[in-house]
């Protein structure tokens, strides 16, 4: 036994990702006295600019957007009581197929070994007991999410320090409910074409393949407020349209698939730190 606190490290791609998939566990574990470390890989410069101006449109200034999103990220971390924020500051690659994928300095173009070496250095410094990131498809195919997955798994191989590793996921039952709410709150949304609908149906996992269900309902207001801190991206953050009560109903349980474990803790489990305390 040591005096070192139990430590959670979440590796995310952009400012605001920390709140969507892990805002509940970040807030809950911080309240329990666990050290929470957030690593944000990109600067978010492909996000919306003031007034909702889109990347590539006149008036979109990537440097100004990055600075604005940095400030919002700090505000979100304050809401979630994140202990330590580390920003790798790679250039946001944008959505798959955008020209920004191949721009010099983009995260997508960065050699995995380079990003992994930087992340491994942070892992050696913080010595996390639990690491959380995305699955191989970045949950929904975003290049920066995929790259975050790649550098995380490579860094873990370099360090061999972490007892438990998780990928964020969503049970298919929740994805179905999410689809219903999308129609409820955005009735004018067009029906996806068959190819897009098939891709959406593959997001997440069957409920019985989800290993870890963490009830963070008591922290859903904090999670909502953390998302709201990213006000510049409000047009893209569908969840903010629900209001706190409905948000808590849908987003009060955060789900993961456990991909590495040295503790022998049984699954399904309701605590990322099961077997460690």
Distance from the first to the final alpha carbon of the chain: 11
**Strands across the sheet with 35-42, in order?**
84-90, 35-42, 7-12, 130-133, 164-169, 253-261, 212-215
Rg of the chain taking only CA atoms, in angstroms: 18
Is 0.85 surpassed by the pTM of this model?
yes
60 located within any domain: yes
Pair 16, 76: CB distance under 8 Å:
yes
* Residue 11: domain span: 5-171+205-258
Distance in angstroms (rounded) separating the CA atoms of residues 183 and 189: 7
216 located within any domain: yes
List, for residues 40-87, the tens digit of each pLDDT value: 999 999 999 988 899 888 989 999 999 999 999 999 999 999 999 999
Residue 176 has pLDDT above 80, yes or no: no
182 located within any domain: no
Identify which of 161, 159, 85, 162 has the alpha carbon closest to the alpha carbon of residue 130: 162
264 located within any domain: no
181 located within any domain: no
List, for residues 222-275, the tens digit of each pLDDT value: 999 999 999 998 877 777 888 898 888 888 999 999 999 999 999 999 999 999
199 located within any domain: no
Domains identified in the chain, total number: 1
CATH number for 164 = 3.40.50.10320
């Amino acid at each position: 036994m040591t005096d070192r606190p139990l430590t959670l490290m979440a590796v995310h791609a952009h400012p605001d990702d920390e709140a969507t998939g892990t805002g509940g566990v970040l807030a809950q574990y911080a309240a329990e006295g666990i050290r929470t470390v957030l690593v944000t890989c990109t600067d978010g410069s492909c996000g919306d600019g003031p007034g909702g101006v889109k990347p590539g449109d006149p008036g979109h200034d990537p440097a100004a957007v990055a600075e604005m999103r940095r400030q919002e990220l700090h505000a979100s971390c304050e809401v979630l009581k994140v202990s330590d924020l580390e920003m790798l500051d790679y250039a946001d690659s944008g959505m798959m197929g955008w020209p920004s994928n191949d721009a010099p300095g983009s995260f997508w173009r960065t050699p995995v070994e380079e990003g992994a070496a930087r992340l491994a250095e942070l892992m050696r410094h913080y010595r996390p007991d639990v690491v959380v990131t995305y699955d191989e498809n970045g949950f929904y195919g975003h290049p920066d999410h995929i790259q975050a997955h790649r550098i995380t798994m490579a860094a873990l191989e370099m360090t061999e320090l972490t007892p438990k590793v998780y990928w964020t996921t969503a049970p298919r039952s929740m994805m179905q409910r999410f689809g219903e709410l999308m129609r409820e709150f955005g009735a004018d949304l067009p029906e996806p074409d068959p190819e897009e609908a098939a891709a959406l149906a593959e997001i997440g996992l069957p409920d019985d393949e989800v290993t870890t269900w963490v009830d963070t309902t008591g922290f859903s207001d904090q999670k909502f407020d953390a998302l709201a801190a990213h006000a510049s991206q409000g047009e893209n953050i569908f969840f903010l349209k629900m209001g706190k009560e409905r948000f808590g109903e849908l987003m009060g349980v955060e789900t993961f698939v456990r991909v590495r474990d040295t503790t022998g803790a049984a699954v399904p489990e309701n605590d990322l730190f099961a077997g460690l305390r």
